[in-house]
Amino acid sequence: MHATDSLKKALSQAAQNPVYTNYPMSKVCSYRMGGPAKYFCAPANTEAFRACLLLCHQHQIPYIVLGSGANLLFRDTGFQGVVLSTKKINYFTSSNKGDVRVGAGLPVAALTEQTLACALADFEWASGLPGTIGGGVFMNAKCYGHSFSDIVEEVQTLTPSGEERTFSQPECRFAYKNSIFQHNQHIIMNIRLKLVPGTLYAIQQKTEEILKDRKNKGQFLFPSAGCVYKNDYNVGTPSGTLIETCGLKGHQIGGIRVSEQHANFLVNTGKGCTQDLLDLMQVIEAKVWEKHHVRLQPEIHIVP
Ligand SMILES: Cc1cc2nc3c(=O)[nH]c(=O)nc-3n(C[C@H](O)[C@H](O)[C@H](O)COP(=O)(O)OP(=O)(O)OC[C@H]3O[C@@H](n4cnc5c(N)ncnc54)[C@H](O)[C@@H]3O)c2cc1C
């Protein structure tokens, strides 16, 4: 049997699910671009994740974890390794007191629905935020004055060698758009959240208000990964304003354009590729440095 075929078979057994070869990452990333991954699979459970990790280690193949791809981008040349999707780790349980346990791959939108159904408050702020809960914890995603660090109680992970670890809230070392998981290569598997019982009508109103605001801001008109750059609170001016005051709104390279609505959104007009985005980012970073003497820090994760 060809080496690629035997590895595919072994991976599929480990993942307890099908494995796809040369799978286009443009299909799974919100930017709708990025070349193919050599292998793509969604391990069925924690054991399956562990088995896949051990296999990757044994064969010395690089791997990357994918939530929903709302902040992750692959090069046009693709990825010569395994993309492990968390989408099958998507359970939800809750007590009526607001103790919520979820799998890392549960979409934020699904948790919004569940919290509505259970009349649990304190998650309305995440309405319309693309991504999974695991991705949100990894990024410490933030919007409307709240971030995941406000609601996380505990996170269970797998280390790269497959051991299970538990992190209390302080051990997650949350900071602005940052967490320990961006530095320790653990895979987030299970998350315990603390929400509070609320009134269905009030939760519904707030959820709809925030979703409407996102839609009114044109966030879903074109494929993107949201804001490309973090804000630097020491600078005091949002990155979008720094870009806008360089006269870059509407500036386009290939198929990627600086959004007219929000200059920190670099949108795919339809035929954009990752290289177009990287070229546009280079222009933006140079202009912002020239005019404001600020080094912009990317928020999106681009797989090397
Ligand atoms: C239209 C739009 C609007 C957005 N608005 C906002 C906003 O208001 N605020 C904000 O903060 N972000 C925003 N984003 C970005 C995005 O929604 C968040 O960063 C989100 O948390 C990404 O989650 P994900 O599951 O898609 O992660 P992915 O994009 O799949 O992954 C992001 C990173 O997390 C890692 N990762 C994912 N899951 C795990 C896991 N289980 N274990 C370990 N590592 C993992 C990946 O390897 C990658 O490095 C927006 C994006 C879009 C497209």
Ligand 1, atom 27: closest residue by C-alpha: 135
Torsion of CA 39, 41, 45, 51, to 10 degrees: -20
User: Under a CB-based contact definition with an 8 Å cutoff, are residues 141 and 131 in contact?
Assistant: yes
How would residue 5 be classed by pLDDT, with cut points 50, 70 and 90? confident
In the numeric block, the tokens 């490309």 are attached to 228
Whose alpha carbon is nearest atom 6 of ligand 1? 226
Which atom of ligand 1 is least distant from the CA of 225? 53
CA angle, 66 as apex, 93 and 264 as ends, to 5°?
Answer: 105
Domains of the chain: 3-85 (3.30.43.10), 92-216 (3.30.465.10), 239-302 (3.90.78.10)
Roughly how many angstroms between the first and final C-alpha of the chain, as a whole number? 31
Query: Does ligand 1 have an atom closer than 6 angstroms to the CB of 301?
Result: yes
Residue identifier of the C-alpha nearest atom 47 of ligand 1: 65
Kind and range of the H or E element at 83?
strand 79-85
pLDDT at residue number 1: 59
* Phi, psi angles (nearest 5°) of residue 152: -80, 135
The three-state secondary structure class of 201 is helix
Q: How far is the CA of 139 from the centre of ligand 1 (A)?
A: 6
142 Cα nearest atom in ligand 1: 11
Q: Using an 8 Å Cβ cutoff, are 87 and 42 in contact?
A: yes
Instruction: Count Cα atoms within 13 angstroms, Cβ side, for 234.
Output: 5
Structure confidence by residue, pLDDT tens digits, 148-179: 999 999 999 999 999 999 999 999 999 999 99
- Identify the band that residue 261 occupies on the pLDDT scale cut at 50, 70 and 90: very high
Say if ligand 1 is within 6 A of residue 219 CB.
Answer: yes
Task: Verify whether ligand 1 is closer than 6 Å to residue 207 (CB atom).
Answer: no
- Classify strands 252-253 and 196-197 as parallel, antiparallel or unpaired: unpaired
Ligand 1 in reach of 251 Cβ (< 6 A):
no
Indicate if the pLDDT at residue 83 is higher than 90: yes
Answer whether 72 contacts ligand 1 (Cβ < 6 A).
Answer: yes
H, E, C per residue of 227-276: ECECCCCCCCCCHHHHHHCCCCCCCEECCEEECCCCCCEEEECCCCCHHH
Is the C-beta atom of 103 inside 6 A of ligand 1? no
Cβ(268) to ligand 1 under 6 A? no
Q: Residue 54, class by beta-carbon neighbours within 10 Å (0-12 exposed, 13-18 middle, 19+ buried)?
A: middle
What pLDDT, on a 0 to 100 scale, did the predictor assign at position 96?
Answer: 79
Q: What is the pLDDT of residues 177-205, one digit of tens each?
A: 999 999 999 999 999 999 999 999 999 99
Structure tokens at 91: 């359970």
**Is ligand 1 within 6 A of the CB of residue 126?**
no
Tokens of 255: 């198929």
Atom 8 of ligand 1: nearest residue by CA position: 143
